[in-house]
Amino acid sequence: MSEPQHPASEPVRRSLLLIIPLVAFVVLAGLFFLRLRSGVDPAAIPSALIGKPVPAFELPGVPGLEAEGRPVPGLSSADLKGGVTLVNFWASWCAPCQVEHPMLMRLAREPGLRLVGIDYKDAPENGRRFLARNGVPFSAVGLDASGRVGIDFGVYGVPETFIVGPDGIIRDKLVGIVTPENLNAVLAKIRAAAGPGGQAAAR
């Protein structure tokens, strides 16, 4: 003999199915709110490489890329010594990189600052067109088509920028874009990495 049916149980199940996602959302929102109130910047993700030498690499340049009528060279870890250098990982397919680019053009005008780029997981022709359209702020650009160098640096998304000291040691990591609002903080980090003299690498 079959068990008696409980018609009232079906609405209860439907109500639970509606309530459970709502409860989960409230819990996640609460955790996010608490993190904001704690003063922890969600973008301030530390890098395990801070305080360590730049990973060894040698990257070709972007074919056909020129600046001021001269070919823009590729990039290697050996180039990141002798002064403070900003290493910016970017890509033509990266929307935040498009937003950040005017600030990189501005940083490139800072006296004595050396800014280099790594075109991350990009087609060479797309990277070349991106810079031809928006300007070339970099004194050198390495093409990391496979993303291998990005993996060695611990890059999980572009743009990311690393501040490398004169000794080739990674001093800091900037996650997210450089903006007019955080530019002074970025310049302060560059000066701190340069040491007492505050002088970055010559271009």
Q: What is the mean pLDDT of residues 21-38?
A: 45
Higher pLDDT, 197 or 118: 118
Q: What is the pLDDT of residue 188?
A: 92
Q: What is the pLDDT of residue 16?
A: 55
Does residue 167 carry a pLDDT above 60? yes
CA 169 centroid distance within chain: 18
d(CA 99, CA 60): 26
Higher pLDDT, 97 or 83: 97
Burial class, 40, CB count within 10 angstroms (exposed 0-12 / middle 13-18 / buried 19+)? exposed
Q: What is the mean pLDDT of residues 137-164?
A: 96
Structure token digits, residue 175: 């996650």
Altogether, the residues listed in the chain come to a count of 203
Q: What's the order of all strands across the beta sheet hosting 114-120?
A: 141-144, 114-120, 85-90, 160-164, 170-175
Q: What is the pLDDT of residue 134?
A: 97
User: Among 152, 159, 150, which Cα is nearest to 130's?
Assistant: 159
Does residue 37 carry a pLDDT above 50? no
CB atoms within 10 A of CB 115: 22
Read off the pTM. 0.75
pLDDT band at 56 (very low <50, low <70, confident <90, very high): very high
Element housing 103 (H / E): helix 95-107
Query: What is the chain's mean pLDDT, rounded?
Result: 83
pLDDT band at 108 (very low <50, low <70, confident <90, very high): very high
Q: What is the mean pLDDT of residues 151-177?
A: 93
